[in-house]
Amino acid sequence: MTEIVLFHHVLGLTDGVRALAARFEQAGHTVHTPDLFEGRTFGTLEEGLAHAQEIGFSRVVERGRAAADALPEDVVYAGISLGVMSAQMLAQTRPGARGALLLEAAVPPGEFGSWPASVPVQVHGMDNDPSFAGEGDLDAARDLVKEAADGELFLYPGNVHLFTDSSLPSYDAAATAQVVERALTLLTR
């Protein structure tokens, strides 16, 4: 099966991120969940964002790169919100990537160079999420899937961020089930 590296969101490596990883493991995949915040988790987006800013976004991404260095090259890079920065950077710059699964965020593809033709990508987000749809990530996702030879954008009805984390009040079980189902299709290619 496929080996996946799943990078957490701005609240840290929560139980909900681990639960999402477990769903892919139950389907037979191996999932690595690097802790980019070195054990720290946060109760609000503001607290997590302040921590990420204090560390520096470039350092968070560098921690993602360092975590991937210990793994084989032929993995699928996945990220949730903040974790998309590491996942997308690695998918675009590290040779051998098998795919990218970007949840609730996207970076303009030119940020890390052009999208590799051999790397399929899926982007998942809520259509009225203020962070995803309202801050430019949706536009970046559209550009990204247009540039990719094998790119898909999936929008879910709703206006919350971090809907795939079952440990948060924003969790949407039905939308997350669709994300997992669609992602498993990508993972079996």
Residue 62 Cα distances to 69, 86, 133, 140, 178, angstroms: 11, 8, 26, 22, 31
Give the pLDDT confidence score for residue 54 in this predicted structure. 94
What pLDDT is attached to residue 24?
98
Rounded CA gap, 79 and 87, in Å?
5
Mean pLDDT in order along the chain per 10 residues (189 residues): 96 97 97 96 93 92 94 96 96 96 95 93 97 95 95 97 97 98 93
Angle of CA points 122, 123, 124, to nearest 5°:
120
Per-residue pLDDT, 189: 78
Cα–Cα distance for residue pair 142/154, rounded to 1 Å = 10
Q: Judge whether 76 and 187 are in contact, CB under 8 Å.
A: yes
For domain 3-187, give the CATH number: 3.40.50.1820
Alpha-carbon gap, residue 168 to 73, rounded angstroms = 32
Give the CA diameter of the chain: 39
Cα angle 129, 132, 135 (rounded to 5 degrees) comes to 110
pLDDT at position 1 is 86
